[in-house]
Structure 1
Amino acid sequence: MNDIASRRPRGGLGRGLNALLGDVAQDERDTGDRGSARGSVRMIPISAIAPHPEQPRRHFDEAALDELAASVAQRGIIQPIIVRPHGQDFQIVAGERRWRAAQRARLHEVPVVVRDYSDSETLQIALLENIQRQDLNAIEEARAYQRLLDEFGHTQEELARAVHKSRSHVTNLLRLLDLPPEVQAQVVEGKLAMGHARALVGAADPVSLAEQVLTQGLSVRQTEKLASQDKHGAPTSRAPRQGSAPRPHQGTGSADIEALERQLADLLGLRVHILFNDDGRGSITLDYSSLEQLDMVCQRLSGERI
């Protein structure tokens, strides 16, 4: 998957992705009768709002929507929906889940902030807002990244900063789009986890291997080994070096350690390094590029909602 770092944005934003998302975040904090410097919260009929036709999220969890609808019915919508004028009505820029939940809760009006976003800005916010705030499946997230790269000329580094994830996370997701459609569909349907799918990238026959993973209930590490054999033949192992100093994974157990690094990187969105001693002890190092990323991983490790 090519990184188009040298390509200039075609649509032209005039400001960065983080600025766009910062605007949305600020608007969503302006609830009740308070207004932002660029717009104010107001109530409009729910029937006057339509979703964005190119919304990257195609699968909405029904149970989660029912739970959100119950909360909306009891407490109302706390964060306003961001919309833009569209004909005589309005189109959603950010907050489609809230709009859907409000419909289920049979609300007649919802709080909104109306902003004059362009088509380009609207689509980019719709893509990034879903990536950053909701758990798209890996294929939907990868497709969103690919559209931002192809249609708007953003680089992988820019995308990673905008959504507070590592560039390696973005790159690894994009590689999933090299998988055959049958395997991608299994990821979308939740049959294959991202770790399984990543292991299958580059395999000679990923479709057959995916079926084997499903029928045998293989773990990600088992899938890594299976795919390694499919790509290169049976992997060879080296004798462990003498001494007890921590060292990078190599030789016996290296495939397992590499798989663990990848799983942790996917979970945290940061680059992960594992060093280990011959006696089984070791250390884990996380690479972060900003205090925002550090705060994000601390919240994830503590179980706080982001």
Structure 2
Amino acid sequence: MKTTSKSGLQAIFGETTVEETDQFKHIPVSQIDANPYQPRQQFDDEQLTELSQSIDQSGVIQPIIVRRKEGRYELVAGERRLRATQLAGHQHIPAIIREITDVESMEYALLENLQRTNLNPIEEAQAYEKLATALDLKQSDLAKRVGKSRPYVANMLRLLNLPETVQQLLIDGQLSNGHGRALLGLKNRSQMELLAEQAVHHYWNVRQIEKKVQQLNEDVSHETKKATPRNIFIESEERQLEQFFGTKVQIKQSNNRGKIEIEFMTDEDLERILQLIKQES
């Protein structure tokens, strides 16, 4: 993304970065198509109504960004402003017309939402996953691209390993990403949905979930030890690997031979694990 000095168009647009090839005009909202890479899937109706009322009174202060596509315009950034303008009944909206690629459009949409902290945890995780796939980025490179630490990005991506019903609780705001990460510590994944429902019902904080997860894991370990006594060193290594990969890991050994099993739930989860292995090799 190129940046020019704060003069001309940029002086008008304030914080909007303006490039030399940009064009500015008021365009019909009916000619603007949605951004297919928009990471945000839920919009607060009350906030949109408030913004539409402001736009009705004062107009759109900061223009949206669009690109030309197949004789129409495709939104790049500014979906809340566009929706609020439509809600206010306005037929035109100020826009910067920019020449960018599909990948750049995805980046704009993601970064705009991240900077405004408008995404729920699952939307944010999905956005990271899409961007990493589109740009073929390792987690460390992805983290630099979005201005986050690698552990932060890795933890967000781990949320996509949660069952869909639990993910929905994060989307609805009933559980936080901290709750989700705590639930991922469960060794018995079949208990995850029930524990998540209990957390919502009893208004548990993250610490309370972590304590419950620890209790359940100790029960599982106790039952396993009763069935087949295990090497303490092997169990310690399993715990470290589970923390690193963000999923269940089993080391199976017999007569000086054995194998390491790393659990994955989806193709995307497998790709995430493979990237971690490649980074360490």
1:274-289 equivalence runs, <5 A? none
Identify the match of residue 43 of structure 1 among 3, 10, 26: 26
Tell me, yes or no, if structure 1 residue 97 matches structure 2 residue 83: no
Q: Quote the residue 1:69 is aligned against.
A: 52
Distance change (3 Å), C-alpha of 1:224 and 1:231:
same
**2:200 corresponds to which residue?**
214
Q: Give distance in 2, aligned partners of 1:55 and 1:48.
A: 18
Total equivalences in the alignment = 215
Structure 1 position 161, deviation (Å):
2.9
Native 8 Å contact 1:31 1:80 kept in 2: no
**5 Å matches for 1:113-132?**
113-132=96-115
Q: Is the 8 A contact 1:196 1:223 kept in 2?
A: yes
Preserved CA contact (<8 Å) 1:195 1:220:
yes
The secondary structure found in structure 1 opposite 2:27 is strand
Q: Which runs of 4+ in 1 moved over 6 A?
A: 25-28
- Alignment check: 8 A CA contact 1:27 1:113 kept: no
- Give the Cα–Cα distance (whole angstroms) in 2 for the partners of residues 152 and 159 of structure 1: 9
**Counterpart check, 1:223 vs 2:209:** yes
For residue 129 of structure 1, report the CA deviation from its aligned partner: 2.4
> Is this contact kept in 1: 2:103–2:134, CA < 8 A?
no
User: Which sits farther off after the overlay, 68-77 or 137-146?
Assistant: 68-77
Q: In structure 2, what residue type is equivalent to 1:131?
A: L
Structure showing the higher helix proportion among its residues = 2
Q: Choose between structure 1 and 2 for higher RCO, CA contacts under 8 A separated by at least 6 residues.
A: 1
Q: Displacement, 1:127?
A: 2.6
1:60 corresponds to: 43
Aligned to 2:64: 81
For 1:94 and 1:232, the matched residues in 2 are separated by 48
> Is the alpha carbon distance of 1:47 and 1:177 closer, same or farther for their aligned partners in structure 2, counting shifts above 3 Å?
same
Q: How does 1:52-201 map to 2 (within 5 A)?
A: 52-201=35-184
Would you say the 8 A contact 2:21–2:99 is kept in 1? Answer: no
Structure 2, unaligned stretches of length 5 or more? 222-281
Deviations 1:58-78, CA, capped at 9 Å, x for gaps: 101111111111221122111
* Contact 2:48–2:80 under 8 Å retained in 1: yes
Q: Secondary structure at the match of 2:132?
A: helix
Check the 8 A contact 2:63/2:93 in 1, yes or no. yes
Query: Which structure's CA Rg is the greater one?
Result: 2
Cα distance between partner residues in 2 of 1:26 and 1:163: 27
User: What whole-Å deviation, never above 9, does each CA across 1:22-76 have from its counterpart, x for those lacking one?
Assistant: 69x99995536x9752213211111111111232111011111111112211221
Q: Helix, strand or coil: the match of 1:128?
A: helix
Match of 1:302 in 2: none
Please state whether the residue corresponding to 1:44 is helix, strand or coil: strand
Instruction: Describe the SS at the equivalent of 2:12.
Output: coil
Task: For residue 54 of structure 1, give the secondary structure of its aligned residue in structure 2.
Answer: coil
Q: What is the CA deviation profile of residues 212-250 of structure 1, one whole-angstrom value per residue up to 9, with x for unaligned ones?
A: 111222111111111122223499xxxxxxxxxxxxxxx
> Could you tell me the TM-score, scaled by structure 2's length?
0.69
Are the counterparts in 2 of residues 27 and 82 from structure 1 also a CA contact under 8 Å?
no
